[in-house]
């Protein structure tokens, strides 16, 4: 009996240790499973030579989210292996631009772009690879983490995986992670772990009042892999107004703030160069500001930029040239590139605010008003025609033959028979 009692007391500690080990194992199982099935991602993960993508994109800083198409093909690696040579195509209405850019390896951020596509690769940088602010190859993010970082807006919201769902875009149907946040509205980017770029994104501008307009919208149109240039690259770039003629290093500018004729608001503007040539582009920055506080911009501005002759008669409209009734500045500023078509010495512009309200709606004209801006205009530049080398060689040959023929003719005339 004594032996049984001793055995009983020996078994009890063993049971205790067994139970402790059992529960410890249960506690460690989720950790082990997480390690085994952890799924990480960053923009550009899995990108390889031959991959191509076609996207529909809009970006608030590019003509206020007018949709454009951005396509690119990973041609090969750079000579030093630090990036990818990429053929890039932008279809922007009637303007088509194709060129070469270089994507980095840590993140597929363009490190070089041909000048004619630089504006479009900047749109790509601020939309398609927007998440590289939170995840890179040096710091990939796990889909099990609730927060990847914070937005740069006031009171920055926590950005991270919030759901998984099936999403259908023109480029296919995918099971995706939804990465995003909520601030007034849902901001979402649909990420497929096996793909280097999101298949869809809808992100809104951070505004203090009213309905927030889109900051950018992205949709995958097509993807694949090809060792030869995809068919969408079989296109020629549109001619660029003033290309090879207009100066690109003129950083002079004119900057003013003027109250509208109705005192409804202040319109601050800046254009460069200060004295543009007829036929050359002018870059405009416009800011629509409160009278009582120029630092506070007025949202949802519907406006247009008219060109008028010396008698004030309208001869052109930027909105009409784009097939629109008005231009739209959702957060109270806008940036435009306009070709100077009027002859020197002055081009007359009217910046006319029709009112406020959502895009494509009838504007509330309470804040309507206009300002006049006269731009000193220089004569058009004329490109010196380049004489082909082949033509020069032919002319030189002709001249040489004429000289030789003249000399031989003289010698023949002196011969006596």
What token pair was written down for 178? 């939804």
Residue 393 reports pLDDT greater than 90? no
Q: Coil, strand, or helix at residue 408?
A: helix
Can you tell me the mean pLDDT for 405-410? 55
Q: Is 258 found in the same domain as 351?
A: yes
Classify residue 407 by its DSSP letter: H
Q: Is 266 found in the same domain as 215?
A: no
Residues with Cβ within 8 Å of residue 312, at least 6 apart in sequence: 348
Q: Is 351 found in the same domain as 278?
A: yes
In angstroms, the CA 72 to CA 196 distance is 13
Residue 260 reports pLDDT greater than 70? yes
Can you tell me the mean pLDDT for 58-83? 93
Q: Is 213 found in the same domain as 323?
A: no
Specify if 21 maps to a domain. Answer: no
For position 147, which CATH number holds? 2.40.360
Residue 64 reports pLDDT greater than 50? yes
Burial of 223 from C-beta contacts in 10 A (0-12 / 13-18 / 19+):
middle
Classify residue 243 by its DSSP letter: T
Specify if 407 maps to a domain. Answer: no
Q: 1-40 pLDDT, tens per residue?
A: 545 454 544 445 555 555 555 554 544 444 443 434 459 9
Q: Which residue has the tokens 């608001």?
A: 265
Specify if 242 maps to a domain. Answer: no
Residue 84 reports pLDDT greater than 70? yes
Q: Is 224 found in the same domain as 260?
A: no
As a whole-number percent, the residues of the chain with pLDDT over 70 amount to 81
Specify if 311 maps to a domain. Answer: yes
β pairing state of 314-317 and 266-272: unpaired
Classify residue 364 by its DSSP letter: B
In angstroms, the CA 110 to CA 102 distance is 5
In angstroms, the CA 354 to CA 352 distance is 6
Specify if 13 maps to a domain. Answer: no
Q: Is 202 found in the same domain as 283?
A: no
Q: What's the pLDDT at 141?
A: 96
Q: Is 142 found in the same domain as 63?
A: yes
For position 270, which CATH number holds? 2.60.40.1930
Which among 106, 68, 54, 108 has a CA at the least distance from the CA of 85?
108
Q: What's the pLDDT at 389?
A: 47
Reported as type and span, the H/E element at residue 356 is: strand 346-356
Specify if 88 maps to a domain. Answer: yes
Specify if 114 maps to a domain. Answer: yes
Q: What's the pLDDT at 206?
A: 83
Q: Is 310 found in the same domain as 212?
A: no
Q: Is 268 found in the same domain as 340?
A: yes
Q: Is 225 found in the same domain as 104?
A: yes
Q: 275-309 pLDDT, tens per residue?
A: 999 988 898 989 999 998 888 999 889 999 999 99
Can you tell me the mean pLDDT for 247-276? 92
What token pair was written down for 224? 């694949």
Q: Is 303 found in the same domain as 184?
A: no
Q: Is 293 found in the same domain as 162?
A: no
Q: Could you tell me what percentage of the chain is helix, strand and coil, using 3-state DSSP and rounding each to the nearest 5? A: 20, 40, 40
Q: 170-185 pLDDT, tens per residue?
A: 999 999 999 999 988 9
In angstroms, the CA 147 to CA 160 distance is 4
Task: Determine the number of helices (DSSP H) and then strands (DSSP E) in the chain.
Answer: 4, 22
**pLDDT band per the 50, 70, 90 thresholds, residue 336:** confident
CA distances (Å), origin 416, targets 49, 405, 408, 411: 79, 19, 15, 11
Q: What's the pLDDT at 240?
A: 67
Number of compact structural domains in the chain: 2
Can you tell me the mean pLDDT for 125-144? 95
β pairing state of 158-169 and 110-113: unpaired
Q: Is residue 154 a contact partner of residue 142, using CB atoms and an 8 Å limit?
A: no
| Domain that includes residue 75, residue range | 51-233
Classify residue 25 by its DSSP letter: H
Specify if 56 maps to a domain. Answer: yes
pTM of the model: 0.62
Q: 214-258 pLDDT, tens per residue?
A: 999 999 999 999 999 999 999 998 876 666 688 877 889 999 999
Q: Which residue has the tokens 């006049």?
A: 372
């Amino acid at each position: 009996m004594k032996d049984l009692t001793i055995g009983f007391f020996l078994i009890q500690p063993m049971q205790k240790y067994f139970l402790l080990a059992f529960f410890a194992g249960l506690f460690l199982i989720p950790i082990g499973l997480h390690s085994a099935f952890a799924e990480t991602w960053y923009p550009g993960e899995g990108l390889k030579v031959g991959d191509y993508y076609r996207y529909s994109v809009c970006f608030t800083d590019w003509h206020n989210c007018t949709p454009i198409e951005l396509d690119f093909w990973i041609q090969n690696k750079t000579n030093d292996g630090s990036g990818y040579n990429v053929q890039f195509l932008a279809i922007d209405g009637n303007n088509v631009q194709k060129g070469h850019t270089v994507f980095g390896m840590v993140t597929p951020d363009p490190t070089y772009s041909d000048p004619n596509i630089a504006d479009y690769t900047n749109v790509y940088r601020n939309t398609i690879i927007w998440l590289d602010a939170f995840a890179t190859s040096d710091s990939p993010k796990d889909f099990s983490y609730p927060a990847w970082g914070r937005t740069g807006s006031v009171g920055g919201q926590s950005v991270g995986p919030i759901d998984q769902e099936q999403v259908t875009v023109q480029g296919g149907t995918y099971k995706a992670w939804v990465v995003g946040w909520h601030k007034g509205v849902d901001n979402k980017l649909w990420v497929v772990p096996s793909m280097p770029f999101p298949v869809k994104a809808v992100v809104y501008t951070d505004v203090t009042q009213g309905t927030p307009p889109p900051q950018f919208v992205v949709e995958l149109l097509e993807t694949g892999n090809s060792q030869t240039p995809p068919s969408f690259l079989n296109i020629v770039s549109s001619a660029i107004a003033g290309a090879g003629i207009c100066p690109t290093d003129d950083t002079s500018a004119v900057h003013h703030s003027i109250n509208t004729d109705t005192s409804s608001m202040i319109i601050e503007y800046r254009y460069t160069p200060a004295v543009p040539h007829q036929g050359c582009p002018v870059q405009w920055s416009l800011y629509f500001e409160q009278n009582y506080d120029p630092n506070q911009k007025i949202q949802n501005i519907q406006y247009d930029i008219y060109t008028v002759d010396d008698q004030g008669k309208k001869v052109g409209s930027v909105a009409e040239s784009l097939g629109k009734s008005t231009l739209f500045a959702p957060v109270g500023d806008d940036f435009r590139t306009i070709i100077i078509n009027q002859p020197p010495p002055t081009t007359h512009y009217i910046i006319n605010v029709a009112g406020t309200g959502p895009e494509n709606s009838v504007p509330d004209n309470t804040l309507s008003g206009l300002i006049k801006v006269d731009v000193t205009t220089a004569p058009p530049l004329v490109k010196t025609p380049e004489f082909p080398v082949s033509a020069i060689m032919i002319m030189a040959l002709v001249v040489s033959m004429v000289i030789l023929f003249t000399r031989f003719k003289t010698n023949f005339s002196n011969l006596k028979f």
